[in-house]
Amino acid sequence: MKNAFLTASLLLLTTAGSGVKAEDEWTLPTAEPRLKEGAGVEVATTSCVLCHSVDYVTTQPPLSRDQWKTIVTKMQQKFGAPLNAEKIDPLLDYLAKNYGK
């Protein structure tokens, strides 16, 4: 009960004088990061995002193609990422272009 009172008080203090009215409509931005569009995005979506979230890719530091290859190979061999041999080069091209150095 005490937390609810504090939350309500804080809300009143932050909105008082700001022009915000109770009837104002708010739309929050989507919290889901998205992969950059481009050739190979389908492979990244079906191979990478199948096992983990998009932000795992988008928050990596800029990596070279060889560094991405090391990661992709590890995901494929150690963790069983469903990635056929013919999809590796398009995926590496996509990652290096969109999330590379």
Please give the structure tokens belonging to residue 45.
Answer: 């979506």
Please give the structure tokens belonging to residue 96.
Answer: 């290096």
Write 77-81 long-range contacts (CB < 8 A, 24+). 79/51, 81/47, 81/48, 81/50, 81/51
Please give the structure tokens belonging to residue 64.
Answer: 């070279």
Give the global pTM.
0.67
Q: How confident is the model at residue 27 (pLDDT cuts 50, 70, 90)?
A: confident
Decide if pLDDT at 16 tops 60: no
What architecture does CATH give domain 34-101?
Orthogonal Bundle (1.10)
Q: Which residues, at least 6 apart from 75, have a Cβ–Cβ distance to it below 8 Å? A: 48, 51, 81, 83
Which residue in the block uniquely carries the two structure tokens 């191979």?
47
pLDDT in tens, 46-94: 888 888 889 888 899 999 999 999 999 999 999 998 888 899 999 999 9
The pLDDT > 90 percentage for the chain reads 44
